[in-house]
Amino acid sequence: MLLLAGCGSSDNGSSTNSNELQKLGKGEGQVNLISWAGYVEPEWTKPFEQETGCKVNDKVAGTSDEMVQLMRTGQYDGVSASGNATARLVDGGDVSPVNVSLVPNYKTIFSDLKNQPYNTFEGVHYGIPHGRGANLLMWNSENVKPAPDSWNVILDPKLAAKYSGKISAYDDPIYIADAAVYLKYHQPDLKIESPYELNEEQFEAAVNLLEEQRPYVGEYWSDAAKQISAFAGGDSEVGTTWQYQYFALKGEGKPVAASPASQGFLPKEGATGWSDTWMISSKAQHPNCMYMWMNYIVSPKANAEVAEFFGEAPAQSLACAQTADKEFCSKYHAEEPAFWKRVYYWETPLADCGNGSSDCKDYNDWVKAWTSIKG
Amino acid sequence: LSRRLASFFHGRPHLQVGTLLAAPMGWLAIGYLGSLAVLLIAAFWSVDPLSGEIVHNLGIENFETLVNEPVYRHIIQRTVVVAALVTVTDAVLAFPIAFYMAKVASRRGKAILVVAVLLPLWSSYLVKVYAWRTMLSAGGVINWALAPLGLHGPGFGVTAVWLVMSYLWLPYMVLPIYAGLERIPNSLISASEDLGASPFTTFRRVILPLSFPAVIAGSIFTFALTLGDYITPKLVSNDQFIGNVIANNISTDLPFASALALVPIVVMVAYLLVARKLGAFEHV
């Protein structure tokens, strides 16, 4: 992966520790952020502004692609990037390494979020983990029986036919990785290592699986509100979801279920998920304020607030003591490394497979294939 | 200074008009036509498969993909067919409404109807589409109303897109036709009757030809709006329209997205040429 980073951005000078901030100075008065909806809200930005004097200007982005595009304008100081954007940002020279010694709260971040392939490149830290979530299998507990323990209920054509028209799938090219997670378990002869590094044969198998699934899909969802209304209205009965929708529907008293504790809360194949990282722009005009923000957003109280507001597991281990709902961290498995071991966090598919060969399908191929799958 | 400027412009009418129009014309030329030109050029660029950077070499690969890959042909076909259906539906629905507003309703009734037609435009587009989504859902009001008859609604899909778009763009068809009918003097209709024409003949030989340009004006709105929309298809169907594919490709393959964006433009130009052939712009 990093080989590519080396050749791709050689004209910008290689990204080494030399361009990371060495000493924190005075705040510049403001900071311009790009974030997911719900990551930057007045409840926790107001105290930050009072504390540091850095006024927060936030631009909400709808997708990882949009985040990459906005960062390339060079007008922002930082971004809350998911793993399917981070490598692209590092490759493009759009972000700088982060000096974690200037972020005191980094020390108490869950250790299984540190030094991950989507936030640390060639041993250099490129961001501060913010929070994470898993893509769950959710079903209508009244109509879907027996309770499924595998993704086969929506991915094996024979079983999927039973819920034809009631299946809910995520509307994004990255959903191809869900099929790859399934194939990794059920077809070991394909030798899939990472669901985000697929060669021609593996990629074709995953795409074929989703093409077979296509006629049974009732709805592809892209925003949480759309899926909640589909499950509430009876249009969807089984499919992939985020923890947020699951708890929202449960809160409304709808008959929904997800994999129980006896299965480690995930289908037996494991699942895809996301882990978001605050990154600092290589062209940041307010680097001191950005460092203060990165430290603040993973401080126990603020990280608890944002995790509860958004509906994901906090990155800060001390945040669990600060949540309003005392059950929150156990609901979202924040403190269970065994749960997260089975989650394949989103990464950017690159042509470079990470094993020296570069015959993997890159993200552009994924986008084109996704258009063909949906037809 | 203002006095000096005034005397400078006095007696130079071309300069007066030129100065007045400079800003809007400049905006049209740079902001509008300029960006279209960039779009046109970008469609011939390509993306380097390794770095993902845009390569500024001219080539026609993007258009080859559009023509050769059946999936894009299907998507373009689907979009154009739905746009045509929506346009016909809206024209059929709008004409009687507009006719009643222009020729039958009292002055007061007319005002109320104009407000009623405009009212949906005051609420957010998303709210309206989500409302339709709720109505069309399995447990929604359409299925509930049809259940006693042993029927069920169309559910989500292309039919739903056609229904929702027809609803969304109806005002854009009603208003031009209404304005067009308003301009037809009542004396012409009376004259036609006096000369012994049946109401149907009057409609066919007098009203329709005179209001045809207005119908075409409305159809340009409904057709173009349907061609470009991508949120409605996303919310009430699983089927992709041209706009959806553009949105998917815009960040990973901008040149391909540009090539695809040219398709609605070409379709619209062809549509306008046909409309002109039919004499739609002669009476304007």
Lookup result for tokens 């050689």:
A10
A-B contacts at Cβ under 8 angstroms = 84
Distance CA A203, CA A54 (A): 46
Distance CA B120, CA B173 (A): 13
Cα B64 to the chain's mean position, in Å? 28
B133: CB partners within 8 A, 6+ apart: A226, A229, B156, B235, B236
Q: Say yes or no: B138 contacts chain A, CB-CB below 8 A.
A: yes
> Residue A119's closest CA among A109, A128, A111, A110?
A128
Q: Is the pLDDT of residue A42 over 80?
A: yes
The answer to whether A311 and A134 have CB atoms below 8 angstroms apart is no
Q: How large is the average pLDDT for residues A106-132?
A: 93
Q: Which 3 state secondary structure label does DSSP give A333?
A: coil
Sorting pLDDT into bands at 50, 70 and 90, what band is B275?
confident
Q: Is the pLDDT of residue A3 over 50?
A: no
Distance CA B242, CA B230 (A): 8
Chain B residue with Cα closest to A370: B248
Judge: B69–A8 Cβ closer than 8 Å, yes or no.
no
Q: Say yes or no: A112 contacts chain B, CB-CB below 8 A.
A: no
**Higher-confidence position of A225 and A315:** A315
Distance CA A340, CA A257 (A): 20
Distance CA B1, CA B222 (A): 50
pLDDT at residue A49, as a whole number:
96
pLDDT at residue B49, as a whole number:
67
Cα B194 to the chain's mean position, in Å? 39
The closest CB to that of B52, out of A63, A222, A364, belongs to A364
Q: HSE of A61 in the Cβ direction (CA atoms, 13 Å)?
A: 20
Could you say which residues from 165 to 224 on chain B have a Cβ atom under 8 Å away from some Cβ of chain A?
Answer: none
Q: Is the pLDDT of residue B262 over 70?
A: yes
Q: Say yes or no: A66 contacts chain B, CB-CB below 8 A.
A: yes
Distance from B49 to chain A by nearest Cα, in Å? 8
Q: How large is the average pLDDT for residues B194-215?
A: 90
Q: Is the pLDDT of residue B13 over 90?
A: no
**Burial (CB count within 10 angstroms: exposed 0-12, middle 13-18, buried 19+), residue B223:** buried
Q: Say yes or no: B252 contacts chain A, CB-CB below 8 A.
A: yes
pLDDT at residue B51, as a whole number:
62
Convert the pLDDT of each residue in A323-375 to its tens digit.
999 999 998 999 999 999 999 999 888 887 777 777 899 888 999 999 999 98
Q: Say yes or no: B140 contacts chain A, CB-CB below 8 A.
A: yes
Could you say which residues from 36 to 65 on chain A have a Cβ atom under 8 Å away from some Cβ of chain B?
Answer: 63, 65
Q: How large is the average pLDDT for residues B148-163?
A: 91
pLDDT at residue A13, as a whole number:
36
pLDDT at residue A277, as a whole number:
95
**Burial (CB count within 10 angstroms: exposed 0-12, middle 13-18, buried 19+), residue B262:** middle
pLDDT at residue A5, as a whole number:
37
pLDDT at residue A132, as a whole number:
94
Q: How large is the average pLDDT for residues B276-280?
A: 80
pLDDT at residue B153, as a whole number:
86
A5 contacts on B by Cβ (under 8 Å): none
Chain B residue with Cα closest to A225: B130
Q: Is the pLDDT of residue A15 over 70?
A: no
Count Cβ neighbours within 10 Å for each residue of A70-101 and write b for 16 or more, e otherwise. bbbeeebbbbbbbbbbbbbbbbbbbbbbbbbe
pLDDT at residue A92, as a whole number:
85
**Burial (CB count within 10 angstroms: exposed 0-12, middle 13-18, buried 19+), residue B200:** exposed
pLDDT at residue B52, as a whole number:
66
Distance from B52 to chain A by nearest Cα, in Å? 8
Sorting pLDDT into bands at 50, 70 and 90, what band is A7?
very low
The answer to whether B258 and B60 have CB atoms below 8 angstroms apart is no
Among A257-266, A328-337, B58-67, B166-175, whose mean pLDDT is lowest? A257-266
- Residue B60 DSSP class: -
Q: Say yes or no: B139 contacts chain A, CB-CB below 8 A.
A: yes
Q: How large is the average pLDDT for residues B255-282?
A: 89
Cα A172 to the chain's mean position, in Å? 13
Judge: B50–A370 Cβ closer than 8 Å, yes or no.
no
Sorting pLDDT into bands at 50, 70 and 90, what band is A220?
very high
Q: Is the pLDDT of residue A47 over 90?
A: yes
pLDDT at residue A195, as a whole number:
95
The answer to whether A312 and A132 have CB atoms below 8 angstroms apart is yes
Distance CA A163, CA A140 (A): 11
Judge: A4–B252 Cβ closer than 8 Å, yes or no.
no
Q: What is the ipTM of this complex?
A: 0.78
Chain A residue with Cα closest to B132: A229
**Burial (CB count within 10 angstroms: exposed 0-12, middle 13-18, buried 19+), residue B99:** middle
Could you say which residues from 335 to 364 on chain A have a Cβ atom under 8 Å away from some Cβ of chain B?
Answer: 351, 358, 362-364
Q: Is the pLDDT of residue B112 over 90?
A: yes
Q: Say yes or no: A91 contacts chain B, CB-CB below 8 A.
A: yes
**Higher-confidence position of B155 and A356:** B155
Convert the pLDDT of each residue in A150-196 to its tens digit.
999 999 999 999 999 999 999 989 999 999 999 999 999 999 999 99
Sorting pLDDT into bands at 50, 70 and 90, what band is A306?
very high
Distance from B202 to chain A by nearest Cα, in Å? 47
A7 contacts on B by Cβ (under 8 Å): 50-51
pLDDT at residue A6, as a whole number:
36
Lookup result for tokens 């985000």:
A196
Q: Is the pLDDT of residue B64 over 70?
A: yes
Distance CA B38, CA B52 (A): 20
Q: Say yes or no: B238 contacts chain A, CB-CB below 8 A.
A: yes
Distance from A374 to chain B by nearest Cα, in Å? 7
Q: DSSP secondary structure string, B216-232? A: HHHHHHHHHHHHH--HH
Among A159-168, A274-283, B137-146, whose mean pLDDT is lowest? B137-146
How large a percentage of chain B has pLDDT more than 90? 58
Mean pLDDT of chain A: 89
How large a percentage of chain A has pLDDT more than 70? 95
Distance from B139 to chain A by nearest Cα, in Å? 5
pLDDT at residue B283, as a whole number:
56
